[in-house]
Structure 1
Amino acid sequence: MSRLFRDVEGGVLTPDGSVVCIGAFDGLHLGHRALLAHARLRAATLGVPMVALSFEPLPREFFMPDAPPPRLSLPRAKVEGLLEAGADRVGLLRFNRRMTSMSAQDFVHILLAGRLRAREVWIGPEFRFGHKRGGDVALLQAMGAELGFSAGHIAPVHCADGERVSSTRIRAALRQGDFAHAERLLGRSYAIGGRVVRGKQLGRTLGFPTANLRFPKTPALSGIYATWIHGLTERPWPSVSSFGTRPTVEGVEPLLEAHLFDFSGDLYGRHLRVEFVAKLRDEEKFDGLDALTAQMQRDAAQARQLLSAERFRATA
């Protein structure tokens, strides 16, 4: 039985009832995890499955196709993260023209009360849903009183210094290269995972073979970074990575290119996770490949130095 579903309409998925939480869940930060933990606890108390609902594409991506908001994570990572956080089922709902015309009331009747037999519904602060964002916690509570479920929202989550956790703040920290700040809001280091795909192999000809990960969304950061590679060995592997559209070689779709130091081997098809440690510089266009290669050598040396110092601190 698949634990992932995509459609609002269809047969009953949880006939004995469920506890449902709804959100964008981009990045799965500390606020998202608090919502998921609360829903998981309530589901365990009631003895029913916990269902996490999100949307793909995100609503703002659908309504702003020419200037979509940056994404912290890709759909696969979001689904995997929701399942790891305790969801028994994940609804990655197709956000399309039909979804935009669906009223909040129909969403509740068809999906929450119908397919999921919801007994409780939980949302984050300020969450809205349905046509023209007509649904909120008050609507859920009013309809739930008639349909047999309760609803509520959790309070915003704040860091120790009082800052409210939000995806917007994480995107701003990443854009500024402040990974320590992003880590405080996420509750973990920022990383991007994916399967290694074949590129143009230009890096190999320049002496810098790379493992390439596609990112078919608007990324929250771009530039050259010191990075750790996870999923290759038990310990993270040091690397220098370029993330962006590769202006010197006329790239288009964002691509994460990681050069693993002192590594030789075939990585195609492997699923790796790239952890960002420090930003070295912005992307820039060079006057030819010789200038690009010289800068890549400087980037690699700087990344080696930074990662060596970090590893020393971690083991000291």
Structure 2
Amino acid sequence: MRRLFRDVEGGPLCPQGSVVCIGAFDGLHLGHQALVRAASARARAAGLATVALSFEPLPREFFAAAAPPPRLTLPRAKVEGLRALGAEVVGLLRFDARLAAMTAEDFVERVLVGRLGAREVWVGPEFRFGKGRAGDLALLQALGARLGFRAEAIAPVALDGERVSATRVRAALAAGAFEQVARLLGRPYAIGGRVVLGNRLGRTLGYPTANLRFDGRTPPLAGIFAARVHGVGAQPWPAVASFGTRPTVGGGEHLLEAHLFDFDGDLYGRRIEVEFVARLRDELKFESLPALVAQMHQDAALARRLLGLEPQRAHA
């Protein structure tokens, strides 16, 4: 059974019962993975469905809509990651004013019991839920005793003596510490999506790019990067990538642009992932296109070296 649902209202989704884990799951770091795997193992042992329950937008995005915090994982990648960890049913509840006003008790009765038939509920450290964040593990356990489910929190997952968290991942990304990010995530950090049509300026400047949008969300990093692109060939394709708003050419929306070295082909419409390897510099506004192109040559040469490629012949 593989199912995705968005709504609080509706009929039962797991009539035979379920084990539910709840979280933002932004980034799917080691702590999130431990939570989903724990719930999945319990569900398998009991012959129940595994449910991973999250929200879109994330509550912190909803409450800070004017200046939303950086987002690590887009919804599609989150769903795919949760399924890969063993979730058979994934809930991305629409977090709006109605859901924000729902009491913790109503959430438990209507969603966890009514829709999901929860027999066990697993949460992370410091979990809070419901209107005004009034609900916590103790309330879950009290309601569970009355409504017929068990509630537990997993132990914190630590790395280098400190709890793994999305906050740590964001800080490491902002610092360009990609090896640390990979340790926190258990995998290299990458952003995936479908290649969209850009303004083709890169092609005229000698650097055609595969462009990915970030769905209007605030990205957790910006600048110029050495990268590897997955989904193009049998092996990750070396690239230099820019993630930002393109100030020199009057851009506004956050756009991830990847120039694949020595690649000749059409990627429009293809789903790819851009893996970040090393941060080269900040995004800058240049006084002219020739100045921008000169810097692009330097960026490409540095990215090639960092990725172990042979230097390219000088541009004519």
Instruction: Verify the 8 A CA contact 2:2 2:88 in the aligned structure 1.
Output: no
- Report what 1:227 is aligned to: 227
Please give the TM-score of this superposition, normalised by the length of structure 1. Answer: 0.96
Once the 2 structures are TM-superposed, how far is the Cα of residue 233 of structure 1 from its aligned partner?
1.1
- Report what 1:151 is aligned to: 151
Determine if the alignment matches structure 1 residue 213 to structure 2 residue 212.
yes
Q: Using the alignment, how far apart are the partners of 2:194 and 2:301 within structure 1? A: 26
Once the 2 structures are TM-superposed, how far is the Cα of residue 42 of structure 1 from its aligned partner?
0.3
After TM superposition, the structure 1 stretch with the greater mean CA deviation from structure 2, 245-254 or 77-86, is: 245-254
- Report what 1:59 is aligned to: 59
Unaligned runs of 5+ in 1: 310-316
Once the 2 structures are TM-superposed, how far is the Cα of residue 67 of structure 1 from its aligned partner?
1.1
- Report what 1:184 is aligned to: 183
SS at match of 2:307: helix
Amino acid at match of 2:202: G
Identity of aligned residues (%): 69
- Report what 2:291 is aligned to: 291
- Report what 1:78 is aligned to: 78
Once the 2 structures are TM-superposed, how far is the Cα of residue 300 of structure 1 from its aligned partner?
0.3
Q: Deviations over 1:142-172 (max 9, x none)?
A: 011111100010111012x222100001100
Q: Using the alignment, how far apart are the partners of 1:132 and 1:91 within structure 2? A: 21
Q: Using the alignment, how far apart are the partners of 1:92 and 1:215 within structure 2? A: 18
Q: Using the alignment, how far apart are the partners of 2:2 and 2:188 within structure 1? A: 30
- Report what 1:50 is aligned to: 50
Q: Using the alignment, how far apart are the partners of 1:180 and 1:264 within structure 2? A: 30
Q: Using the alignment, how far apart are the partners of 1:2 and 1:42 within structure 2? A: 18
- Report what 1:172 is aligned to: 171
SS at match of 2:158: coil
Q: Using the alignment, how far apart are the partners of 1:2 and 1:118 within structure 2? A: 17
Q: Using the alignment, how far apart are the partners of 1:158 and 1:43 within structure 2? A: 25
Q: Deviations over 1:267-312 (max 9, x none)?
A: 0011001000000000010001110011001100000000017xxx
Amino acid at match of 2:142: A
- Report what 2:314 is aligned to: none
> 1:264-303 counterparts in 2 under 5 A?
264-303=264-303
Q: Using the alignment, how far apart are the partners of 1:30 and 1:2 within structure 2? A: 23
Amino acid at match of 1:175: A
Once the 2 structures are TM-superposed, how far is the Cα of residue 203 of structure 1 from its aligned partner?
0.2
Count, aligned residues: 309
SS at match of 2:308: helix
- Report what 2:313 is aligned to: none
Q: Using the alignment, how far apart are the partners of 1:94 and 1:268 within structure 2? A: 30
Unaligned runs of 5+ in 2: 310-316
Q: Using the alignment, how far apart are the partners of 1:251 and 1:53 within structure 2? A: 36
Q: Using the alignment, how far apart are the partners of 1:193 and 1:178 within structure 2? A: 20
Amino acid at match of 1:60: R
SS at match of 1:197: coil
Q: Using the alignment, how far apart are the partners of 2:95 and 2:246 within structure 1? A: 30
Amino acid at match of 1:212: N
- Report what 1:199 is aligned to: 198
Once the 2 structures are TM-superposed, how far is the Cα of residue 2 of structure 1 from its aligned partner?
6.0
- Report what 2:255 is aligned to: 255
Amino acid at match of 1:281: R
Q: Which ranges of 4 or more aligned residues in structure 1 deviate by more than 6 Å?
A: none
- Report what 1:314 is aligned to: none
Determine if the alignment matches structure 1 residue 98 to structure 2 residue 98.
yes
- Report what 1:88 is aligned to: 88
Amino acid at match of 1:157: V
Amino acid at match of 1:283: E
Please give the TM-score of this superposition, normalised by the length of structure 2. Answer: 0.96
